Structure 1
Amino acid sequence: MRDFQFPGRSPVRATEAIAATSHPLSTLAAIEMLRAGGNAMDGAICAAAVQGVVEPQSTGIGGDCFVLYCPKGQSQVLAFNGSGRAPAAATVDWYRDKGFNELPKQGPHAVTVPGAIDAWCRLLEDHGSKTLAEVLAPAIHYAENGYVVHDRVAFDWAEPETDLSADEHAARIFLPGGVAPKAGDVHKQPELAATLRVIAKQGRAGFYEGAVAVDMVRRLKELGGLHTAEDFAATRGDYVAPVSVSYGGHEIHQMPPNNQGLTALLMLNVLSGFKLGGLDPNGAERLHLEIEAGRLAYRDRDRFVGDQDHVPVPVRALLSAAYADRLRAEIDRERAMTHLPDVQLPGSDTVYISIVDRDRNAVSFINSTYYSFGSGVVGPKTGVMLQNRGSSFRLDAGHPNAIAPGKRPMHTIMPGMATKSGRVVMPFGVMGGGYQPFGHVHLLTNMIDFGMDPQQALDAPRVFYNDGLVEAERNVPTEAIEGLRRRGHAITEPHHPLGGGQAVLIDWEKGTLTGASDPRKDGMALGC
């Protein structure tokens, strides 16, 4: 139990259902959908659509999504890859011939075809109980009538002002009066509201064909992009087999490549050989082991992960016990490793949604346009901000993540799901670009090894190894910082808090749910 004399929040407890998101309006929309007879999938898509309006820096219908889903509380985990692909004309040679040494972070060449709307439509048809018009109605309302900008959204919105001003249509919509909205301002997106109405009426065809698609493709071509109407019309998501490992009596499930989810599983496999539960959860030794396991796992992520439709990824070998033993042997409890390459990890803005309903359908849902406001390219008539996932591709033809026609890039956004003894026990996720595998592992080990409830586990101090430095949040104890320095780690304070997450824990014996939402964001968990 937390000390109520200190700032913080209690977990949310309920019997019927819980929704947890990074924005209050999104959480409320999901709860209202559940109260109206909808299920977890209806609520998740409704929440994602709302967040595409009220957290425009983080997500939207111009982005991608990944989903893990356990129907009726069973331990079988369904996985849906809703990530988009490179244009059919995109090749390494084309970019090299045009003088590119890497894919740009913004502009048309950073854009892959958005996969989110196709995923929403497919998942709603297969697992939802409400119509597309019903689940999109709250998002349409906020886009058309306005919403109040929340504090973390405003914090994130202010940084990309220069990038947004480079595109006249982005500036018109997202820099009203020439500046980013402040916390407490009211913002509207009438063009996006009209686009959502078209999708609500016509389904996926309303986005990938017709006037909406024409507007997006025309704008991309104006800016020199390779995208065609055929690229948009051909977009389809896929059901895929999740990847899993055992940790602390639980099965932990992630998306397979092209997703970075196996990075967290690699970390868990390595850490399973250490008795973390006997350590100080905020002490230097625990944090050091987490950092070193992460450095090894990220090295392998960048060596091996790509789109499995195009390249083989040795998933089974990477997740084997023997390989974990080999990695673990590289770690010195008292000294930071010096033989690993430094990995520069991209930051991103993302939304994660965790919902369990009365029938114990459990959904772990993540949706993103990648960097803050994605590519910065907006459809002038549709108001759709397009993602910049293409910037993750490499221009090294021999690399697993090299760009190629119709290929999906290596993806950072990763939903998580935990099962135990034949039942689902927790949909969970932690946002934050490259931080996400670290965040998943920190959350899980806080709960499994240290007995924290979901809210305590999300509240706890965080560290992250990035570009040769250990980023340590301000609440990491001073003695832990000094202990990390003695082990050879260079410490810095991150400009942003590290990530943000949600989780809903199912207690089958008591028949209760416990939900949590990260204080590093504006959101909340609510139950009914």
Structure 2
Amino acid sequence: MRDFQKPGRSAVFAQNGICATSHPLAAQAAIDILKRGGNAMDAAIAGAVLLGICEPQMTGIGGDCFVLYNRAGENRVRALNGSGRAAAAAHADHLRTQGRQTVPLNTSDAVTIPGAMDAFCRLAETEGKLGLDAILAPAIHYADEGVPVAPRVAFDWGNEASTLQGSAREAYLFDGKAPTQGDIFRAPGQAEVLRRVAKDGRDAFYTGEIADDMIAALAARGGVHTADDFAATEATPTDPVSGHYKGTDLLEHPPNGQGATAILMLNILKHFDIAAMDPNGAERAHIEAEAAKLAYDARNRFIADPDHMSRLDHMLALDTAERLAALIDPKRAMAAPQGVSEAVHKDTIYITVVDRDRMAVSLIYSIFHGFGSGIASEKFGILLQNRGAGFCLQPGHANELAGGKRPMHTIIPAMLAENGRITMPFGVMGGAYQPNGHARFVSNLKDFGMDPQTAMDAPRAFSDAGTLKVERGYSDKVRAELTEMGHKVDVSTTAIGGSQAIQIHANGVLEGASDPRKDGCAIGY
């Protein structure tokens, strides 16, 4: 139980259903859908699409999603890959001949076809109850009427507004400036898109005037995207990958997501007595940072479009983790491995919903960097993601940019299960941090017995490109000790990640937790 004389937030307990996400309007919309007879999938999609209006710097219908879920009465976890592909005519040689080492972030070369809308339409049909018209109604309403800009959203908007270019500046800036807290943001163009999708389904988005609007914006910047690329977009059903840590199964979305990295990290951490360490001390932060360096190096080498990679079993093997753990010096930081890396970002939304029938949905949805590519379609104002920056340009690499491929993705939804029973859908936003965040969250739960809210409130650290970023929750003493171990320590100016979780207790009670690093909350009924 938390200390009620100190700042903090209580978990939310309910019996009929809970939504936890990063904006209260989206959480409330999801609960409204549940009260109308919708299930967790209906509610999660409704909330997610609305988050594209509430947090447009983070996500939107020009982006991708990954989803883990179970059906009511089942403990089987299913996965859907809602990530889009590179244009058929895309090729790494085009960028290598320009002398590029990475895919440039704010160009048409970085834009992959949006995959989320196809996934949402598919899931609404196969798993939902209410239909697209009801599911999309909250987002249509707020896109037309407007949403007051929340504090964290205003902070991010101001930091990332320079990304916006051309018509995107008209759609997402107020007289050329980022909005401030409390300003009203409207997106009438997106409202019209959603009305058409609600009426005519996914083809309204991927063919005809809406698709043409996106293609024209890309072609004006040298893009090679075609109507065939958009029309061919299709989400892919798949199965999760899993690992085991101290009595709990961690289920992650498979590649091209980076979820296997979290499993590898936990497999490495098994070789250390984490539970005997101070949860906020230097020793734990050091071991975790070293495990992250090694796990992320493996990620950069192996994870790619599943049709183009072959080393997933090696990455998940326990003996792989054992050999990597042996490389860690408990007293001294190693140099950051030099791997092939995607451009790091922090902009993603995550939503989780559990309903009265204990259908659980873990959904993550993003346009990659803040405001994605910064390119928006002229008529409808659809911001296009820059997920293509997740490709590399190294010849022969599994994740090399090529036409029709899916890039390595940073966004990963997760679930925990014990003895075959789903116990917790959860997610940790924060771009590259996400596998580290998953591993730390699970470790907080299992090594230190924290409840979900306490586990996500705890301070975070992340070894990123040779720098150990730490939040201000770490003491000066701990930072000095980490420096003595050889880490280049930097106090992060932005909170590291954000998380949401719902624990499904054995007696049926639901417990929702929501990260104070975001504007959101958990709401139940």
Residue in structure 2 matched with residue 113 of structure 1 by the alignment: 113
- Tell me, in whole angstroms, the C-alpha distance in 2 between the residues paired with 1:527 and 1:478: 39
**What is the deviation of 1:398?**
1.2
Residue in structure 2 matched with residue 392 of structure 1 by the alignment: 390
- Tell me, in whole angstroms, the C-alpha distance in 1 between the residues paired with 2:403 and 2:409: 17
1:474-494 deviations in Å (ceiling 9; x for gaps): 011233222222221121011
Q: 1:416 aligns with which of 414, 417, 425?
A: 414
Task: Give the letter aligned to residue 48 of structure 2.
Answer: A
Residue in structure 2 matched with residue 175 of structure 1 by the alignment: 173
3-state DSSP class of the match of 1:177? coil
Residue in structure 2 matched with residue 94 of structure 1 by the alignment: 94
Task: Give the letter aligned to residue 233 of structure 1.
Answer: A
Alpha-carbon contact 1:110-1:390 (below 8 Å) kept: yes
Alpha-carbon contact 1:307-1:410 (below 8 Å) kept: yes
- Tell me, in whole angstroms, the C-alpha distance in 1 between the residues paired with 2:342 and 2:397: 17
Which deviates more from structure 2 when the two are superposed, residues 93-102 or residues 250-259?
A: 93-102
Residue in structure 1 matched with residue 518 of structure 2 by the alignment: 521
Residue in structure 1 matched with residue 479 of structure 2 by the alignment: 481
Residue in structure 1 matched with residue 285 of structure 2 by the alignment: 287
Task: Give the letter aligned to residue 524 of structure 2.
Answer: G
1:429-468 → structure 2 map (5 Å cutoff): 429-468=427-466
1:87-486 → structure 2 map (5 Å cutoff): 87-164=87-164, 166-167=165-166, 169-309=167-307, 311-338=308-335, 340-341=337-338, 346-486=344-484
1:424-447 deviations in Å (ceiling 9; x for gaps): 000000000111111111111111
- Tell me, in whole angstroms, the C-alpha distance in 2 between the residues paired with 1:262 and 1:120: 24
Task: Give the letter aligned to residue 151 of structure 1.
Answer: P
TM-score with structure 2 setting the length: 0.98
Alpha-carbon contact 2:64-2:82 (below 8 Å) kept: yes
- Tell me, in whole angstroms, the C-alpha distance in 1 between the residues paired with 2:264 and 2:73: 26
- Tell me, in whole angstroms, the C-alpha distance in 2 between the residues paired with 1:319 and 1:35: 41
Residue in structure 2 matched with residue 28 of structure 1 by the alignment: 28
3-state DSSP class of the match of 1:373? coil
3-state DSSP class of the match of 2:249? strand
- Tell me, in whole angstroms, the C-alpha distance in 1 between the residues paired with 2:76 and 2:446: 21
> Root-mean-square deviation (CA), in Å?
1.3
Task: Give the letter aligned to residue 144 of structure 1.
Answer: D
Alpha-carbon contact 1:276-1:449 (below 8 Å) kept: yes
- Tell me, in whole angstroms, the C-alpha distance in 1 between the residues paired with 2:176 and 2:93: 39
- Tell me, in whole angstroms, the C-alpha distance in 2 between the residues paired with 1:378 and 1:34: 33
Unpaired segments ≥5 residues, structure 1? none
3-state DSSP class of the match of 2:141? helix
3-state DSSP class of the match of 1:207? helix
1:42-121 → structure 2 map (5 Å cutoff): 42-72=42-72, 74-121=74-121
- Tell me, in whole angstroms, the C-alpha distance in 1 between the residues paired with 2:391 and 2:334: 28
- Tell me, in whole angstroms, the C-alpha distance in 2 between the residues paired with 1:62 and 1:38: 25
**What is the deviation of 1:98?**
4.9
Task: Give the letter aligned to residue 204 of structure 1.
Answer: R
Alpha-carbon contact 2:114-2:384 (below 8 Å) kept: yes
- Work out the percentage of aligned pairs sharing the same amino acid: 51
Task: Give the letter aligned to residue 328 of structure 1.
Answer: A
Across the two proteins, how many residue pairs are aligned to each other? Answer: 524
**What is the deviation of 1:285?**
1.2
Task: Give the letter aligned to residue 493 of structure 1.
Answer: V
- Tell me, in whole angstroms, the C-alpha distance in 1 between the residues paired with 2:230 and 2:395: 25
3-state DSSP class of the match of 1:66? strand
Alpha-carbon contact 2:189-2:379 (below 8 Å) kept: yes
- Tell me, in whole angstroms, the C-alpha distance in 2 between the residues paired with 1:437 and 1:468: 17
TM-score with structure 1 setting the length: 0.97
